[in-house]
Amino acid sequence: MSIYHIVLALGAVATLLFFIGLKQGAVAAIRDADKTSENETVEDGGYAWTAIAAVIASSTIITLAGTSPIFIYLGPLLAIGSAAGIGTAFLVGDRK
């Protein structure tokens, strides 16, 4: 099995996870739209450290891709991981 087939399979799973999570998140947002007032502020989710880690990972992969051709495969894997993470976040939702 080549890297192409591995990335293709992971991409298919991440895409499916993303769209399932997106559907659930959209349905929840529509359901809860009438429960909030216009002036109500949304509480910060505290995702700053996750965003910082994502920027560092992206920068590292871009830098590594410039040093050796083997690291060029990490970019698509990072994108697939991001899509899977977003889909998982939609599925988990707000546990408060």
pLDDT in tens, 27-65: 888 887 777 666 565 666 677 787 888 889 889 988 998
Tokens 């698509």 -> residue: 76
pTM (predicted TM-score): 0.63
The reply to whether 89 falls in a domain is yes
User: Per the domain annotation, does 35 fall within a domain?
Assistant: no
Tell me how many domains the chain contains.
Answer: 1
Please name which of 61, 89, 80, 72 lies closest in space to residue 10, comparing C-alpha atoms: 80
| Distance between CA atoms of residues 9 and 23, nearest Å | 21
Ramachandran angles phi, psi of 81, nearest 5°? -65, -35
Q: Residue 21 class from Cβ within 10 Å (0-12 exposed, 13-18 middle, 19+ buried)? A: buried
Residue 93 belongs to some domain of the structure: yes
* Among the listed residues 7, 1, 2, the one whose alpha carbon sits nearest the alpha carbon of residue 74: 7
Structural domain contains residue 55: yes
